Structure 1
Amino acid sequence: MSADLKTINFNAVVNDKKVTLFTIRNSHGLEAKFSNYGQHLIALWVPDKEGNREDVVLGCPSIDDYMDEKAQYLGAFIGRYANRISEAAFFIDNKMYRLQKNNGKNHLHGGYFGFNKKVWEAEQIDDSKIQFNGISMDGDQGYPGNLETRVEYMLTEENALQIDYWARTDKPTHVNFTNHSFFNLTGNTKNNILSHELIINADFYHPVNQNLIPKGLAQKVKGTPFDFRTGKRIGKDILSEHDQIALCKGYDHNFVLGKEPKGKQGLRFAAKVTEPESGRVLDVFTTEPGLQLFTGNYFDGSLKGKYGKGYDPYIGFCLETQHFPNSPNRPDFPKTLLHPDREYRSTTMYRFSTSAVSDKDKSKH
């Protein structure tokens, strides 16, 4: 364990509940640490092509840091609704429900006290698996229904961090969960993520308005900075004059994932990231129809990470599997309404491997 990551720094009492650090690992060197506060993924150690283990997610050295607004989403479980809901309101059966406005006039990531700020009941299933449980009460942040929630994290022997989400409600309500980890495959945030090679399995993306709410119809990625179909460096077009890139100072957009190809478990392939120097490779598979690419555009160096480094723009990237932003107000989007006679189930897998990358390949893009 890094000298900057001490278990004692994650022991606390929050809202009269005990908070501590939990560890899972597999037999191939993967190791993850979670807090039951917000289910934050604090650290994830992954070997490089030489077998050297390093931490590939952004995080902070103490639980107190996660109480800061700047760090509140780092590696967190996001709910009840990931991403934005326009005007912080939606209708169910002709009744309007008003949500917490925590992003200007809009609702973001479940509200001021979303799932990222809740203390969850933890059950360590075995060395490689942990489960978090809790109930979001009727009216929580404006949402209807008592929502019973369970999330299971497992480090598989195929070197994947598998996340299985489950929920059940007693009233119709909207549900859209995700994990908000920022990855940096250089390890220990040695460099930014602009040289990472990224593939996204998407022909379309959603342009956004000034409030970062999808506007109009999905647009083709072809011929735009959003075309990652065959792979390119994340930094290749991140300073483009394209109006959507300029608006967000980089990428903060939802991609419409293709239904094929699928992995061994029947999950759709979402993305692939390769870091040339370390050789680390990340493949993402999911049941979700969308993927939010966020490149940490708004970090300003004031948030200090686990390794004593201030987090600057583009120090990490998010690949947030999700239903589309503002779906409750967009009848043309895949539905997010959960009924009492149904169960919400979703799975996302972040699978790691290594690949030797030649100098010729490095200069390809």
Structure 2
Amino acid sequence: MNIETQDIMSKWKLYTLLNDNGMKVSFLNFGGIITDISVPNRNNQLENVVLGYKNYDDYEENTKFFGAIIGRVAGRIQDSSFTILDQTYSMEANEGGHHLHGGNGGFHQVIWQASPFQTDETIGVKLTHRSLDGEGGYPGTIEVAVTYTLTNNNELILDYSGTSDKTTVLTMTNHSYFNLNGNLTDTIHNHHVTIESDEFVELDAELIPTGKKINVANTPFDFRTGRKLVDGIHSTTTQNRVANHGYDHYFILNQTQQQHISVKEETSGRVMTIKTNQPGVVMYTSNTLDEGLNLAEGQSKPYLGVCFETQASPVSLHHDGFPSVFLKANELYEKQTVFSFGVEG
């Protein structure tokens, strides 16, 4: 196992984790952006399974959030405001009238302090950041950490932690776009996905959660026994059409001891499983991904990747009965998501 470090554009560092199987994970200290995850296919050929820019300077803006840490709050905050203890806080409206993914100065846009580590079984880097009271409109000075750990079982473990000196809101995630074909040789239409979820959250025309939970039964949102993403991409149901012909929805995860999510790609044989202690996941099938962005393996287009944004939900700021993003003063925020890679056949 090995950790490599490279200076990028005289201002960032690129860390590359290599395990004994040849699996590779590369990420920047800028935004914690994962730029490459290379894992074998059934013929033991290593290929990259996440979307990333060809040129590092394109991450400076990164309006599509490729590979980045998202915070303080992942998702859309309705009307760019919320209330805590009878005090209303307003933040930047960076998507119409709403606040998306922490705003333009969110965690995806900061340089994190990085501390590499190695044990007998793992290698990784702990990223830390201090966000001051009032930054982005959020209350509380908050200390956050995100640790990327690679094991010899081809597991990438993401550990999130944080504390605030005031009651505030926090739900972090990673915004990697996965494509298990490898090196972007095809779209994600035929990715077969299983999600342990009985309910998803309805969206309005501006992709804001309405506060209504919908049972997945007899809909293209029923992934409990697995289905291909093409089912929702080609669906004419209102919720798939609202999401620009695909998925951009929050699934409330069933609290079981099983792997919460699995993704299989038949041609390559790659399988990715996701286990998390987060209460839900936003699955986004890159329905609105711009065409023509210069990616490492070619030009971007819609449906080239699928995101699994494990998180609580900002819908809880305006509606009762949803996984909360509130964090009390001096309370520890502690979450984990594990991405495991293997092959079938």
Q: Is the 8 A contact 1:254 1:325 kept in 2?
A: no
- The answer for the alignment partner of 1:142 in structure 2 is 137
Q: Is the 8 A contact 1:270 1:291 kept in 2?
A: no
Structure 1 position 240, deviation (Å): 1.0
Q: Residue type of the partner of 2:110?
A: K
Q: What secondary structure is seen at the aligned counterpart in 2 of 1:124?
A: strand
Structure 1 position 96, deviation (Å): 0.5
Q: Could you tell me which of 249, 260, 272 is aligned with 1:282?
A: 272
1:170 aligns with 2:165: yes
Q: What secondary structure is seen at the aligned counterpart in 2 of 1:65?
A: helix
- The answer for the alignment partner of 1:265 in structure 2 is none
Q: Is the 8 A contact 1:40 1:116 kept in 2?
A: yes
- The answer for the alignment partner of 2:71 in structure 1 is 79
Q: State the distance in 1 between where 2:110 and 2:318 align.
A: 26
Structure 1 position 330, deviation (Å): 2.1
Q: Residue type of the partner of 1:43?
A: D
Q: State the distance in 1 between where 2:320 and 2:210 align.
A: 13
- The answer for the alignment partner of 1:100 in structure 2 is 92
Q: Is the 8 A contact 1:169 1:339 kept in 2?
A: yes
1:170–1:24 distance in 2 versus 1, CA, 3 Å: same
Structure 2 runs not aligned, ≥5 long? none
1:57 aligns with 2:54: no
Q: Is the 8 A contact 1:85 1:327 kept in 2?
A: no
Q: TM-score, normalised by structure 1?
A: 0.89
Aligned length: 337
1:257 aligns with 2:226: no
- The answer for the alignment partner of 1:66 in structure 2 is 59
Which structure features the higher share of strand residues?
A: 2
Q: Residue type of the partner of 2:115?
A: E
Q: What secondary structure is seen at the aligned counterpart in 2 of 1:237?
A: helix
Deviates more, 1:297-306 or 1:332-341: 332-341
Deviates more, 1:37-46 or 1:61-70: 61-70
- Give aligned-pair identity as a percent: 36
- The answer for the alignment partner of 2:307 in structure 1 is 318
Q: What secondary structure is seen at the aligned counterpart in 1 of 2:240?
A: helix
Q: State the distance in 2 between where 1:327 and 1:270 align.
A: 22
1:88 aligns with 2:80: yes
Q: Could you tell me which of 10, 13, 18 is aligned with 1:25?
A: 18
Structure 1 position 63, deviation (Å): 2.2
| Aligned residue runs from structure 1 range 224-263, under 5 A | 224-249=219-244, 250-262=246-258
- The answer for the alignment partner of 1:12 in structure 2 is 9
- The answer for the alignment partner of 2:29 in structure 1 is 36
Q: TM-score, normalised by structure 2?
A: 0.95
- C-alpha distance after superposition, 1:158-207 (max 9, x if no partner): 21110000101111100000000000001101100111111111111111
- The answer for the alignment partner of 1:353 in structure 2 is 342
- The answer for the alignment partner of 1:122 in structure 2 is 114
Q: Is the 8 A contact 2:314 2:324 kept in 1?
A: no
Structure 1 position 69, deviation (Å): 4.3
Q: State the distance in 2 between where 1:334 and 1:234 align.
A: 25
Q: Is the 8 A contact 2:166 2:330 kept in 1?
A: no
Q: State the distance in 1 between where 2:145 and 2:255 align.
A: 26
Q: What secondary structure is seen at the aligned counterpart in 1 of 2:294?
A: coil
Q: Residue type of the partner of 2:207?
A: L
Q: Is the 8 A contact 2:70 2:106 kept in 1?
A: yes
Q: Could you tell me which of 316, 321, 337 is aligned with 1:327?
A: 316
Q: Is the 8 A contact 1:78 1:178 kept in 2?
A: yes
Q: State the distance in 2 between where 1:167 and 1:319 align.
A: 21
Q: Is the 8 A contact 2:211 2:315 kept in 1?
A: no
Q: Could you tell me which of 40, 45, 48 is aligned with 1:47?
A: 40
Structure 1 runs not aligned, ≥5 long? 1-6, 263-268, 357-365
- The answer for the alignment partner of 1:215 in structure 2 is 210
- The answer for the alignment partner of 2:105 in structure 1 is 113
Deviates more, 1:220-229 or 1:327-336: 327-336
